[in-house]
Amino acid sequence: MQRPRPTPDLQFVFHPEADGGYRHFDGHDTVPFDPAAATMTRANAWWLAEAALLAYWDPDPARQRFAAAGLDAAIVEGGDTQAYVASMPGAVLVAFRGTEPDRLGDSFDDARFALVPSTRGAVHAGFHNALDRVWTPLVEKLTPLAGSRTVWFSGHSLGAALATLAADRFPATAGVCTLGSPRVGDRTFAAAFDAQFGARAARYVNDADIVTHLPTPFPLPYQHVGQLRQITPDGRVTGQAPALAHFVQDIFGNVGHLQDVVHGLQRGTMRHAPDFLLDHMPRGYTTDIWNDHDAHG
């Protein structure tokens, strides 16, 4: 059954966990996760999107909501980086928490656009360092589970960037699904990532979501990874990128301009949130991904 698209709400862009009435994994009993899928199916994408949204919740309520869907979850932390490792028979879902404006560490990681060498190509320095902080405890938690299960990564915003790097770094990754992801690495990294994962990596972009345009591909050679699944203004999911006006890069090529908008909204000096910011709301992503599965299976 199709679900009504949520009204964009700036509070739920900045603090998804404030949406106390949301029912995570609603319908999981009718849409099972496929641990053996060879591509990122619509059903698996929905499960991973729900996990990415739930990653914003605190541990106690998050574990309860994961458990209601048949997932045994634990949080793994390293500095300001957090991820949930949620296991079921046959699969492990790893969901990274996204950007929290009130946490200085997250903002710092987002703002550091320098590229640093990776195992192949170069990647965003802040994202790379954020993953390093949590990598050892994450691998310690994940390794014994991965012996008998496939491993899938997901995240929204900063969490999407970390999911991409973690999927690339973990040797037995089955697939990765990202929501509202910034660019993560250079062209060499992107080419190698896409060659390895192909249809097992899906990148969802909701209409004009501004975070998906950062960092810009100039002056540094940033490039997106994963197969594009573009959400149109009416909620349809396509593989075609929209024709965006040049002002997107002209105005927001410098992240400082976006920060000015965010600070203006938080201080009340800007009264109406622009659509390109509201499009980043993770609940909008989960609803449209559910409806895409409902419509196309």
Please name every residue paired with 201 in a beta bridge, in sequence order, or none if there are none: 176
Amino acid at 154: S
Helix (H), strand (E) at residue 108: helix 104-111
Fold of 28-296: Rossmann fold (3.40.50)
- Interhelix angle 187-197/158-169, rounded to 10 degrees, is 70
**DSSP labels, 144-207:** HHHTSSEEEEEEETHHHHHHHHHHHHSTTEEEEEEESPPP-EEHHHHHHHHHHHGGGEEEEEET
Mean pLDDT of the chain: 90
- For residue 155, count other CB atoms closer than 10 A to its CB: 33
- C-alpha to C-alpha distance for 163 and 267, rounded to whole angstroms: 32
Amino acid at 191: A
What one-character DSSP code corresponds to residue 224? Answer: -
Q: Residue 101: phi, psi to the nearest 5?
A: -60, -25
The CA–CA distances, whole Å, from 48 to 88, 179, 202, 251 equal: 13, 10, 11, 32
- C-alpha to C-alpha distance for 205 and 279, rounded to whole angstroms: 9
pLDDT recorded at residue 297: 86
* Structure confidence at residue 119 as a pLDDT band (50, 70, 90): confident
Please name every residue paired with 72 in a beta bridge, in sequence order, or none if there are none: 87
For 125, half-sphere exposure in the C-beta direction (CA atoms, 13 angstrom radius) is 8
pLDDT tens per residue, range 4-52: 999 999 899 989 999 999 999 999 999 999 999 999 999 999 999 999 9
Tell me how long the chain is.
Answer: 297
Residue 138 has pLDDT above 70, yes or no: yes
Q: Residue 3: phi, psi to the nearest 5?
A: -110, 145
* Structure confidence at residue 55 as a pLDDT band (50, 70, 90): very high
Q: Residue 116: phi, psi to the nearest 5?
A: -125, 150
Residue 61 has pLDDT above 70, yes or no: yes
pLDDT recorded at residue 287: 98
pLDDT tens per residue, range 259-293: 655 555 556 555 567 888 899 999 999 999 999 99
For 286, half-sphere exposure in the C-beta direction (CA atoms, 13 angstrom radius) is 25
pLDDT recorded at residue 247: 42
- C-alpha to C-alpha distance for 234 and 118, rounded to whole angstroms: 38
Residue 250 has pLDDT above 50, yes or no: no
* Structure confidence at residue 222 as a pLDDT band (50, 70, 90): very high
In this structure, are residues 151 and 170 in contact, taking their beta carbons and an 8 Å threshold?
Answer: yes
Residue 108 has pLDDT above 80, yes or no: no
pLDDT recorded at residue 103: 58
Please name every residue paired with 237 in a beta bridge, in sequence order, or none if there are none: 231
* Structure confidence at residue 104 as a pLDDT band (50, 70, 90): very low
Domain ranges across the chain = 28-296
Amino acid at 16: P
Residues 6+ apart with CB under 8 A from 42: 289, 292, 293, 296, 297
